[in-house]
Amino acid sequence: MRIALHVPCLVQARRPKLLRAMREVGDALGWDQTVPRGQTCCGLPAWEAGFEDAARDAARRTVQLFRDADIALTPSAACHAMLTRRIPELLADDAEAGGAQALARKTRLWCDAVAAERDALLPRLHFSGRALLLDSCSRGFSEDFRTLIAAMPGLTLVESLGDCCSFSHDLSRRHPDIASAMAESQAAVLRRRKLDVILVNEPGCILQLEPFCQTKPIPALLHPAEFLADLLRK
Protein backbone atom coordinates (compact mmCIF):
# COMPACT_ATOMS: atom_id res chain seq x y z
CA MET A 1 0.00 0.00 0.00
CA ARG A 2 1.64 3.22 -1.19
CA ILE A 3 1.14 6.03 1.32
CA ALA A 4 1.80 9.60 0.16
CA LEU A 5 2.25 12.25 2.83
CA HIS A 6 0.61 15.59 2.18
CA VAL A 7 2.73 18.50 3.46
CA PRO A 8 0.66 21.68 4.00
CA CYS A 9 2.25 24.95 2.89
CA LEU A 10 2.33 26.18 6.50
CA VAL A 11 4.29 23.09 7.53
CA GLN A 12 6.76 23.58 4.69
CA ALA A 13 7.31 27.22 5.58
CA ARG A 14 6.98 27.28 9.35
CA ARG A 15 7.13 23.79 10.88
CA PRO A 16 9.25 21.34 8.86
CA LYS A 17 9.84 19.26 11.97
CA LEU A 18 6.24 18.06 11.67
CA LEU A 19 7.03 16.29 8.40
CA ARG A 20 10.08 14.67 9.99
CA ALA A 21 7.89 13.45 12.85
CA MET A 22 5.26 12.02 10.49
CA ARG A 23 7.94 10.09 8.63
CA GLU A 24 9.50 8.81 11.86
CA VAL A 25 6.20 7.42 13.14
CA GLY A 26 5.38 5.92 9.74
CA ASP A 27 8.81 4.28 9.55
CA ALA A 28 8.35 2.84 13.04
CA LEU A 29 5.06 1.32 11.86
CA GLY A 30 6.62 -0.10 8.70
CA TRP A 31 4.62 2.07 6.31
CA ASP A 32 5.61 2.29 2.64
CA GLN A 33 5.51 6.08 2.56
CA THR A 34 6.65 8.78 0.20
CA VAL A 35 6.49 12.57 0.07
CA PRO A 36 5.49 13.68 -3.45
CA ARG A 37 7.97 16.26 -4.67
CA GLY A 38 6.79 19.66 -5.84
CA GLN A 39 4.08 20.19 -3.21
CA THR A 40 3.22 23.84 -2.71
CA CYS A 41 -0.35 24.54 -1.57
CA CYS A 42 -3.61 22.65 -1.89
CA GLY A 43 -5.45 25.90 -2.70
CA LEU A 44 -7.17 26.51 0.64
CA PRO A 45 -5.92 30.10 1.24
CA ALA A 46 -6.94 31.16 -2.27
CA TRP A 47 -10.34 29.49 -1.91
CA GLU A 48 -10.97 31.18 1.45
CA ALA A 49 -10.06 34.57 -0.03
CA GLY A 50 -12.44 34.07 -2.96
CA PHE A 51 -9.82 33.56 -5.69
CA GLU A 52 -11.34 30.46 -7.26
CA ASP A 53 -9.18 30.43 -10.41
CA ALA A 54 -6.01 30.39 -8.32
CA ALA A 55 -7.54 27.73 -6.07
CA ARG A 56 -8.33 25.58 -9.14
CA ASP A 57 -4.76 25.85 -10.37
CA ALA A 58 -3.47 24.66 -7.00
CA ALA A 59 -6.12 21.95 -6.87
CA ARG A 60 -5.15 20.53 -10.26
CA ARG A 61 -1.50 20.40 -9.23
CA THR A 62 -2.39 18.61 -6.01
CA VAL A 63 -4.51 16.01 -7.83
CA GLN A 64 -1.65 15.31 -10.22
CA LEU A 65 0.95 14.96 -7.46
CA PHE A 66 -1.09 12.35 -5.57
CA ARG A 67 -2.43 10.44 -8.57
CA ASP A 68 -0.23 7.34 -8.04
CA ALA A 69 -0.77 7.02 -4.29
CA ASP A 70 -3.07 4.41 -2.77
CA ILE A 71 -3.61 6.55 0.33
CA ALA A 72 -2.94 10.25 0.93
CA LEU A 73 -2.42 11.30 4.54
CA THR A 74 -2.59 14.91 5.67
CA PRO A 75 -1.73 16.23 9.14
CA SER A 76 -4.11 19.17 8.69
CA ALA A 77 -7.81 19.10 9.47
CA ALA A 78 -8.31 22.23 7.33
CA CYS A 79 -6.44 20.77 4.35
CA HIS A 80 -8.38 17.51 4.77
CA ALA A 81 -11.61 19.44 4.19
CA MET A 82 -10.07 21.07 1.12
CA LEU A 83 -8.79 17.77 -0.32
CA THR A 84 -11.97 15.80 0.28
CA ARG A 85 -14.71 18.39 -0.31
CA ARG A 86 -13.58 21.66 -1.85
CA ILE A 87 -11.28 20.31 -4.56
CA PRO A 88 -13.96 18.01 -6.02
CA GLU A 89 -16.36 20.97 -6.01
CA LEU A 90 -13.84 23.31 -7.66
CA LEU A 91 -12.94 20.78 -10.35
CA ALA A 92 -16.42 19.37 -10.94
CA ASP A 93 -16.45 20.62 -14.56
CA ASP A 94 -12.71 20.26 -15.11
CA ALA A 95 -10.68 17.64 -16.98
CA GLU A 96 -9.35 16.60 -13.56
CA ALA A 97 -12.81 15.99 -12.09
CA GLY A 98 -12.26 12.24 -11.91
CA GLY A 99 -8.85 12.68 -10.34
CA ALA A 100 -10.32 15.06 -7.77
CA GLN A 101 -12.94 12.51 -6.79
CA ALA A 102 -10.27 9.80 -6.56
CA LEU A 103 -8.12 12.03 -4.33
CA ALA A 104 -11.09 12.70 -2.05
CA ARG A 105 -11.78 8.97 -1.65
CA LYS A 106 -8.22 8.07 -0.69
CA THR A 107 -7.40 11.04 1.57
CA ARG A 108 -7.38 10.50 5.33
CA LEU A 109 -6.24 12.46 8.31
CA TRP A 110 -2.84 11.30 9.50
CA CYS A 111 -4.15 10.89 13.05
CA ASP A 112 -6.90 8.54 11.88
CA ALA A 113 -4.41 6.30 10.08
CA VAL A 114 -2.23 6.16 13.19
CA ALA A 115 -5.22 5.33 15.39
CA ALA A 116 -5.73 2.17 13.32
CA GLU A 117 -2.25 1.06 14.48
CA ARG A 118 -3.19 1.15 18.16
CA ASP A 119 -2.07 -2.39 18.97
CA ALA A 120 1.35 -1.82 17.42
CA LEU A 121 1.87 1.57 19.05
CA LEU A 122 0.60 1.29 22.62
CA PRO A 123 3.29 -1.09 23.94
CA ARG A 124 5.90 1.47 22.87
CA LEU A 125 4.29 4.55 24.41
CA HIS A 126 4.41 6.03 27.89
CA PHE A 127 3.80 9.58 29.06
CA SER A 128 3.54 10.93 32.59
CA GLY A 129 1.30 13.96 32.64
CA ARG A 130 -1.94 15.68 31.70
CA ALA A 131 -2.84 15.99 28.03
CA LEU A 132 -5.63 17.76 26.18
CA LEU A 133 -6.78 17.11 22.63
CA LEU A 134 -7.66 20.47 21.08
CA ASP A 135 -10.09 19.98 18.22
CA SER A 136 -9.82 22.08 15.10
CA CYS A 137 -13.01 23.80 13.95
CA SER A 138 -12.48 22.09 10.59
CA ARG A 139 -12.66 18.61 12.08
CA GLY A 140 -12.13 17.23 15.56
CA PHE A 141 -10.15 14.21 16.65
CA SER A 142 -11.78 10.87 15.92
CA GLU A 143 -12.99 8.65 18.74
CA ASP A 144 -10.42 6.04 17.69
CA PHE A 145 -7.59 8.52 18.15
CA ARG A 146 -8.98 9.69 21.48
CA THR A 147 -9.09 6.06 22.58
CA LEU A 148 -5.46 5.58 21.60
CA ILE A 149 -4.28 8.60 23.58
CA ALA A 150 -6.50 7.84 26.60
CA ALA A 151 -5.10 4.28 26.77
CA MET A 152 -1.49 5.44 26.96
CA PRO A 153 0.13 4.39 30.27
CA GLY A 154 0.76 7.33 32.60
CA LEU A 155 -1.33 9.82 30.62
CA THR A 156 -4.35 11.64 32.04
CA LEU A 157 -6.66 12.91 29.32
CA VAL A 158 -8.30 16.24 30.20
CA GLU A 159 -11.66 17.34 28.81
CA SER A 160 -11.26 19.33 25.63
CA LEU A 161 -12.48 22.80 24.70
CA GLY A 162 -15.03 23.86 22.15
CA ASP A 163 -13.73 27.37 21.47
CA CYS A 164 -12.15 28.56 18.22
CA CYS A 165 -8.52 29.76 18.27
CA SER A 166 -9.30 32.07 15.29
CA PHE A 167 -6.96 30.34 12.84
CA SER A 168 -8.20 31.10 9.38
CA HIS A 169 -6.13 32.45 6.54
CA ASP A 170 -8.81 34.98 5.72
CA LEU A 171 -9.80 35.92 9.28
CA SER A 172 -6.18 36.53 10.25
CA ARG A 173 -5.62 38.61 7.12
CA ARG A 174 -8.81 40.66 7.22
CA HIS A 175 -9.27 41.05 10.97
CA PRO A 176 -5.91 40.49 12.73
CA ASP A 177 -6.99 42.29 15.92
CA ILE A 178 -10.07 40.10 16.33
CA ALA A 179 -8.07 36.96 15.54
CA SER A 180 -5.39 37.86 18.08
CA ALA A 181 -7.97 38.57 20.79
CA MET A 182 -9.66 35.20 20.20
CA ALA A 183 -6.33 33.34 20.31
CA GLU A 184 -5.21 35.14 23.46
CA SER A 185 -8.51 34.32 25.17
CA GLN A 186 -8.24 30.62 24.38
CA ALA A 187 -4.57 30.48 25.37
CA ALA A 188 -5.44 31.98 28.77
CA VAL A 189 -8.01 29.23 29.35
CA LEU A 190 -5.51 26.55 28.32
CA ARG A 191 -2.86 27.87 30.71
CA ARG A 192 -5.30 27.61 33.62
CA ARG A 193 -5.93 23.90 32.93
CA LYS A 194 -2.52 22.88 34.35
CA LEU A 195 -1.61 20.82 31.33
CA ASP A 196 1.66 19.19 30.32
CA VAL A 197 0.88 18.89 26.63
CA ILE A 198 -1.78 20.15 24.22
CA LEU A 199 -2.22 18.09 21.07
CA VAL A 200 -3.67 19.92 18.07
CA ASN A 201 -4.67 18.29 14.77
CA GLU A 202 -4.28 21.50 12.75
CA PRO A 203 -0.80 23.04 12.26
CA GLY A 204 -2.36 26.44 11.65
CA CYS A 205 -3.96 26.40 15.11
CA ILE A 206 -0.57 25.61 16.66
CA LEU A 207 1.03 28.57 14.90
CA GLN A 208 -1.89 30.80 15.87
CA LEU A 209 -1.76 29.89 19.57
CA GLU A 210 1.99 29.60 20.14
CA PRO A 211 2.69 33.33 20.59
CA PHE A 212 0.08 33.45 23.35
CA CYS A 213 1.30 30.35 25.20
CA GLN A 214 4.73 31.69 26.11
CA THR A 215 3.93 32.83 29.65
CA LYS A 216 4.14 30.38 32.54
CA PRO A 217 2.90 27.76 33.00
CA ILE A 218 3.88 26.71 29.47
CA PRO A 219 2.33 23.45 28.22
CA ALA A 220 3.90 21.86 25.17
CA LEU A 221 1.80 22.70 22.10
CA LEU A 222 2.32 19.88 19.60
CA HIS A 223 0.86 18.10 16.64
CA PRO A 224 0.19 14.43 17.56
CA ALA A 225 2.88 13.34 15.08
CA GLU A 226 5.48 15.35 17.00
CA PHE A 227 4.24 14.00 20.32
CA LEU A 228 4.29 10.35 19.21
CA ALA A 229 7.63 10.64 17.45
CA ASP A 230 9.19 12.03 20.62
CA LEU A 231 7.79 9.18 22.71
CA LEU A 232 9.00 6.57 20.23
CA ARG A 233 12.53 8.02 20.35
CA LYS A 234 12.55 7.44 24.09
Would you kindly state where each structural domain of the chain is located, as residue ranges?
2-113, 118-233
Question: What is the C-alpha to C-alpha distance for residues 208 and 198, in angstroms, rounded to an integer?
Answer: 14
Same fold, 2-113 and 118-233: yes
Say if domain 2-113 classifies as CATH 3.30.960.
no
Nearest to 90 by CA among 43, 127, 130: 43
As its CATH architecture, domain 118-233 has 3-Layer(aba) Sandwich (3.40)
Nearest to 85 by CA among 44, 121, 114: 44
The pTM of the whole model exceeds 0.75: yes
**Which pLDDT tens digits describe the chain residue by residue (234 residues)?**
899 999 999 999 999 999 999 999 999 999 999 999 999 999 999 998 889 999 999 999 999 999 999 999 999 999 999 999 999 999 999 999 999 999 999 999 999 999 999 999 999 999 999 999 988 877 889 999 999 999 999 999 997 766 676 666 566 666 777 677 777 777 777 777 788 999 999 998 888 888 777 766 668 899 999 999 999 998
Backbone angles phi, psi at 158, to 5 degrees: -95, 145
